[in-house]
Amino acid sequence: MIQPINLNGAAILSLCIILLLTTGGVRANSQEAVWTKQESAVRDQIRRLRSLPDDVRARTTKQLAIDIRRLPAKPHKLDLAFAVANLSTEGDFGRETLQEVATTLADALREDPPPMMGTEPAPPYVELAELVRYEHVKANADNPQFTAALAKLEADDQSRQRADFTLIDLQGKSWSLQALRGKVVMVNFWATWCDPCRREMPDLETLYRRFKSQGLVVLAISDDDAGKVKQLIAEKRFTYPVLIDPGRKVTDLFRVEGIPKSFVYDRDGKLVAQAIDMRTRGQFLEMLAQAGLH
């Protein structure tokens, strides 16, 4: 997932996944460590992942996870495991791939556990917790930081369940989440500069047109410059409501630290599904099915 730059240290570290593989690392001493030939080869493949076709990317991601797991326990191993995990949820690369990624990240954390970031779990623990909670993979991570990360995600979901907001769309219409009871609502956080966001938007448009008559409402929320948003929406001719979030008030209310992210509420206002990253049309259909749309 892509992280906004105006966030706390944990979010910024996740944003800088490529920079992390270039100069720094999850641990303070990893920046000073020399990259081995094996580590460099894996790092270079991770840098190229986004340029690969999806089927090739799935196979490559799975093999990278296995290759990282076989590396000696050195400072950059966790960096590599964290990086490939961060990129593994940008679409549908298969449950087996995600399981290999989660297993590798959990192993790397056991071998070289990073310290807390102030009062928060280190980002790799949060990444692993997200894979377990939202991608439904298994991981053995007997560490208080992992437990704390799972607890944080639970608290975030409870907050999103209670969330309400009122925002204005590009046409000046006001939308309130709680006022949409009786509808199936997908709240999608995105930005014009976010490539994964832009890649999933045509599928959102297709699904909106397909299910609008059945009560689907898509609320696409961006804290981006309104002029840039209007230009993109006009160019792509998207018809679902696009809302501007000045000051990131709603983004912060939903505790969104990386985009794209999507949340589906059923007709009773219950949060029934969410996506921690870019989704394919098939994945979106699975989310909507949990709200009763087929």
Residue 4 pLDDT: 53
Q: Which residue has the higher pLDDT, 1 or 262?
A: 262
CA separation for the pair 258, 232 (Å, rounded): 20
pTM of structure:
0.91
Window from 11-15, 71-75, 211-215, 248-252 with minimum mean pLDDT: 11-15
The answer to whether 4 and 247 have CB atoms below 8 angstroms apart is: no
- Long-range CB contacts (within 8 A, 24+) of 164-167: 165/249, 165/250, 165/253, 167/219, 167/221, 167/243, 167/244, 167/245, 167/250
Q: Is the previous residue joined to 123 through a cis bond, with omega within 30 degrees of 0?
A: no
Contact in structure between 146 and 229 (CB atoms under 8 Å): no
Euclidean distance between CA atoms 117 and 19, whole angstroms: 19
Q: How confident is the model at residue 11 (pLDDT cuts 50, 70, 90)?
A: very low
Decide if pLDDT at 59 tops 50. Answer: yes
Residue 261 and residue 1 in contact, taking contact as beta carbons nearer than 8 Å: yes
Amino acid at 142: D
DSSP string of 35-94, one letter each residue: PPHHHHHHHHHHHTGGGS-HHHHHHHHHHHHHHHHTS-S-HHHHHHHHHHHHHTTSS---
Residues 6+ apart with CB under 8 A from 212: none
Per-residue pLDDT for 285 more than 50?
yes
For a pLDDT cut of 70, what percent of the chain falls above it?
89
Query: Cβ–Cβ contacts within 10 Å for residue 164, how many?
Result: 11
What confidence category does residue 140 fall into, taking pLDDT thresholds of 50, 70 and 90?
confident
Specify the CATH number of the domain 166-289.
Answer: 3.40.30.10
- pLDDT at residue 13 is higher than 50: no
List, for residues 97-127, the tens digit of each pLDDT value.
Answer: 999 999 999 999 999 999 999 999 999 999 9
Query: What pLDDT does residue 76 have?
Result: 95
Residues near 74 by beta carbon (within 8 Å), at least 6 away in sequence = 33, 36, 39, 112
**Can you give the pLDDT at residue 141?**
83
Q: How far is CA 258 from the centre of its chain?
A: 6
Identity of residue 190? W
Phi, psi of 99 (to 5 degrees): -65, -40
The larger pLDDT score, comparing residue 74 to residue 208, is at 208
Q: What is the pLDDT of residue 33?
A: 79
Which pLDDT band, with edges at 50, 70 and 90, does 26 fall under? low
Amino acid letter for position 185:
V
**Residue boundaries of the structural domains of the chain:** 9-157, 166-289
